[in-house]
Homo-oligomer: A and B are copies of this chain.
Amino acid sequence: MTITRAMLETLDRDDMLAPFRAEFDLPPDTIYLDGNSLGVLPVAAKARLRRVVEDEWGRGLIRSWNDAGWIDLPSRVGGMIAGLVGAAADEVTVADSTSVNLFKLAAAAVRMRPGRRVILSEPGNFPTDLYMLQGLSGLLGGAIELRTVPADAMADALTDEVALLLLTQVHYKTGHVHDMAALTARAHAVGALTLWDLSHSAGALAVDLNGAGVDFAVGCGYKYLNGGPGAPAFLFVARRHQDQAVQPLSGWMGHAAPFAFGDDYRPAPGIRRHLCGTPPILGLSALEEGVAVMARADMGRIREKSSRMGDLFLALVEQMCGPDCFGVISPRDARIRGSHVSLSHPDGYAIMQALIARGVIGDFRAPDALRFGFTPLYLRHADLWDAVAHLADIMRTGEYRQERFQTKTAVT
């Protein structure tokens, strides 16, 4: 069946999520297919940040830690994110970066499994996840080993040597979705703990951490949660582990009595012990606005629309560019595909630059992946038509071969 733009416009007219588009401040003449890398600006975040900067910081100053509730922001925003990932409000907090949170929770987890020396992950996992674990292993003088095995060998690699299974639920490049519940159960069957990176799933899928029996999780604030560039990250510790989990970045904000200024660290009860330094108030405030919009949307509808958008995008690429123009890195089955789709092409970098020059923004992941993210709260089905029309035109004309699209920039 040939897809027409009119069909997509009909889908948009019937889209129950369509009103959310007005809650975001979108750049004109742009089709933004990179919300999986940096989410867009929520309208409410503009006023919020003005208020935080000009009133709370400018006028309230130090008093705002109490009067504006700054001190409660990590747990408040954490509690809101909890609702998006199937956790209880007191199981999630916001702190530091995804990388730092991974380190904290991996270190806490291996300490809970003395005698086991393996942290299991997969090759090609988002690099910082592997790097942070390599850093932990190096610090511990090799007492912990990071072992990576391909996804299809994961079940067999789960042995009683494994202290922790660390996986990203939705793969940053392929978009493949792991079966979180099944792998968690398999890990538990051999006595291992699990740490899931939800960077590409929180705000994109209906994540059910407690339903899946997950032990620990981390995730990113600036992708689907629209928290702004370099937003702080979140972390989850299942309530059953909260009294045992001791993380090594034991800063004053995780102390049981941070303002008693004693010399000896005593971890706070519950999730708060996973805080470290002074919370980043500007970033937390922006994140709260991003999460607040997401929290009002129905996650089932979001998932349904993004799955449909991924299917439509793949079909449109084939229809408009031809069946052999691009490789398809992502699963074609939407049930095991996250909210982005990756194509491959040897000239992927230049093609993406040419697309961006036309106002269609995706991103490139070395060596050859063109990545397109579908964010149902602010994208229309018809945007897909327009984006792929540009792509087809770039391929037909060879526009991407122009020299100006070849130069690599710092961040791609």
- Hey, which chain B residues are within 8 Å of A49, CB to CB? 49, 53, 282
A132: Cβ under 8 A from any B Cβ: yes
Given A53-B41, A138-B246, A277-B98: A148 touches B63 (CB 8 Å cut-off): no
Number of A interface residues at 8 Å Cβ cutoff, please give it: 95
Q: Kindly state the separation between the CA atoms of A128 and B138 in the bound complex, as whole angstroms.
A: 24
Q: Kindly state the separation between the CA atoms of A41 and B366 in the bound complex, as whole angstroms.
A: 41
Q: Kindly state the separation between the CA atoms of A138 and B111 in the bound complex, as whole angstroms.
A: 10
B134 in contact with A264 (CB, 8 Å): yes
- Closest Cβ–Cβ distance, residue A245 to chain B (whole Å): 13
- Closest Cβ–Cβ distance, residue A287 to chain B (whole Å): 10
- Hey, which chain B residues are within 8 Å of A409, CB to CB? 66
Q: Kindly state the separation between the CA atoms of A315 and B17 in the bound complex, as whole angstroms.
A: 66
- Closest Cβ–Cβ distance, residue A293 to chain B (whole Å): 15
A170: Cβ under 8 A from any B Cβ: no
Q: Kindly state the separation between the CA atoms of A125 and B125 in the bound complex, as whole angstroms.
A: 40
B248 in contact with A97 (CB, 8 Å): no
A176: Cβ under 8 A from any B Cβ: no
Q: Kindly state the separation between the CA atoms of A65 and B123 in the bound complex, as whole angstroms.
A: 27
Interface string of A85-102 (1 = CB under 8 A from B): 000000000001111100
Q: Kindly state the separation between the CA atoms of A175 and B283 in the bound complex, as whole angstroms.
A: 31
Copies in the complex: 2
Given A41-B57, A100-B249, A259-B411: A134 touches B265 (CB 8 Å cut-off): yes
Considering the complex, give the chain B residue whose CB is closest to the CB of A134: B265
Q: Which of B37, B98, B261, B283 contacts A366 (CB 8 A)?
A: B261
- Hey, which chain B residues are within 8 Å of A130, CB to CB? 263-265
Q: Kindly state the separation between the CA atoms of A60 and B411 in the bound complex, as whole angstroms.
A: 14
| Interface set, chain A 349-365, CB cutoff 8 A to B | 356, 361, 363, 365
Interface string of A27-68 (1 = CB under 8 A from B): 100101010011011000110011001101111111111100
Q: Kindly state the separation between the CA atoms of A38 and B111 in the bound complex, as whole angstroms.
A: 36
Stretch among A229-237, A322-330, A390-398 lining the B interface: A229-237
Which residues in A have some Cβ–Cβ distance to B below 8 Å? Answer: 25, 27, 30, 32, 34, 37-38, 40-41, 45-46, 49-50, 53-54, 56-66, 70-72, 96-100, 103, 107, 111, 123-125, 127-128, 130-132, 134-136, 138-140, 148, 173, 222, 228-233, 246-252, 255, 258-265, 276-284, 286, 356, 361, 363, 365-366, 409-412
What are 7 A-B contacts with C-beta separation under 8 Å? Answer: A27-B58, A72-B410, A97-B277, A134-B265, A230-B280, A280-B282, A282-B286
